[in-house]
Amino acid sequence: MDLKLLPITSQPLRPSAGVRPAASSATAGVGGGFSGALKTALNSVSATQNEATRLQQEVQMENPKVSLEQTMVAIQKAQIGFTATLHVRNRMVQAYTDIMNMQV
């Protein structure tokens, strides 16, 4: 799973008193910030799982171009990516639950 985080802006932030920086075109091009990064990561995990499934099928059909070692590595990569995604989901649900239980 390749998760590459791109910088939001190329300029250093200069905090002003009570002023939030406006969304720039640089953040829009990245893919929407956190949601874009999450979507990209999920697509990457899905592609890894699809590749592992394809290699499994090729090994089962005894394709001589696909090795068992290559297939096992792809399966492990898919499993690690899925586990990481599951942990991220659980953390997000926990954060949401914590926020919803806060006293206002």
Pick out the chain residues at pLDDT < 50.
Answer: 10-20, 22-29
pLDDT of residue 30: 52
Q: Closest Cα partner for 42 from 30, 28, 50?
A: 50
pLDDT of residue 69: 93
The DSSP call for residue 16 is B
pLDDT of residue 37: 87
**48-78 pLDDT tens trace:** 999 999 999 999 999 999 999 999 999 999 9
pLDDT of residue 84: 94
**Burial environment of residue 52 by CB neighbours within 10 A (0 to 12, 13 to 18, 19 or more):** buried
Q: Closest Cα partner for 78 from 47, 55, 57, 33?
A: 47
Distance, CA of 42 to CA of 34 (rounded, Å) = 12
**Burial environment of residue 38 by CB neighbours within 10 A (0 to 12, 13 to 18, 19 or more):** middle
- How is the chain split into domains, by residue range? 25-100
